[in-house]
Amino acid sequence: MMILTILLKLVAGSALMLLALLLALLFDGVDRIINARMQRRWGPPLFQPFYDILKLLGKENIVPRRAIAWIFNSAPWMALASMLVVFLYMPVGSLPAILGGEGDLVLILYMLGFCGVCMALGGFASSNPIANVGAQREMILMMSYELPLAVVASTMAWVAYRYGLPGEAWNLETFVANPVWNVVGKAGILGLLCLLFAMVLVVPGETGKGLMDIPEAKTEILEGLIIEYSGVNLAMLKLTFALRALAISAIITVLFFPLSLGKLIGFSGCFLYALDFLWFWVKVFVVLIVVVTFMRSSLGRLKIGQASHFYWINVAGLSIAGMLLLSIDRIF
């Protein structure tokens, strides 16, 4: 019985990771088209990201002569693996997480940070001064947005514990089964809105797009930390960038928009799981377009000092305000 369970999880996990890869590239194609239309351009074909990845997979990997080869070559694979693992701990609609358990949210935040560290290490290992600058920016940016991200995650877990939501406080399935909007008061709703906006503002830093396109900055440091990458390694990094946007959008969806369309209609059984599975990816798509595409199309890039100040002061302050509002909710 245990062997059968392990085999089923292996099959389900492999299928989910493959689906996440395909959807990440598809969403990336839609993102590029909408971004082009907002700038009054025609834009690339919808499947251009697929063509780019297939082309890169057929190219040769070139390792700089002065690079630390084993770090340089392993960093893209480790970054991609960390992003794929995130989806194994995330409930999809009404379907529970494949590897769900206690502390899932902590592990997901760790994997997001680990992905950024891997990409920075790859930039440092290339021994290219431009990549070195990009890697330094990646680390500074990551240390800046980690504070509001941690405040949001810990506050949501505390809300689940305080209001006695069934399930483990750090488990994402708890928030899917019991939307927090239904249990808080007026001050709590304002607090949740602050946390939601803080998460939205974290997305550009996590994805490195729009106003936080600082580690790559094509017009300034020529792709930054990935300047020396080519071939399969560059394909892995491109997949990682697409998966990061998909993963952070999925986390926002699970925490703040867990509405089950199947339960609302009155479905049950297989129909409930199938409808909520599709509904989940529709919600992720909408969140992705709003928090990634619109923001990167309408806002210019900040300097690294401005970005750090923005996250440490403005976004962290917004997340702490949300935490305080939830703390005083229903006290008076």
- pLDDT tens-digit readout, 85-95: 888 888 887 77
- Say which range, 21-25, 114-118, 175-179, has the weakest mean pLDDT: 175-179
pLDDT digits (tens, 9 = 90+) for 17-60: 898 889 999 988 888 888 888 878 887 888 888 888 888 888 87
pLDDT digits (tens, 9 = 90+) for 260-277: 777 778 777 778 788 888
On average, the pLDDT of the chain sits at: 82
pLDDT value for 15:
86
b or e along 242-251 (b: 16 or more beta carbons within 10 Å of the residue's beta carbon)?
Answer: bbbbbbbbbb
Contact call for residues 86 and 112 (beta carbons, < 8 A): yes
pLDDT value for 259:
79
pLDDT value for 217:
62
* Per-residue CA distances from 36 to 43, 297, 301 (Å): 5, 8, 17
From start to end of the chain, where are the E strands? none
Mean pLDDT throughout 112-119?
85
225 has pLDDT over 80:
no
pLDDT digits (tens, 9 = 90+) for 131-142: 777 777 778 888
pLDDT value for 213:
63
pLDDT digits (tens, 9 = 90+) for 279-329: 889 998 888 888 888 877 776 666 777 777 888 888 888 888 888 888 887
Give the whole-angstrom CA distance, residue 118 versus residue 215: 14
- The burial class, CB within 10 Å (0-12 / 13-18 / 19+), for 179 is middle
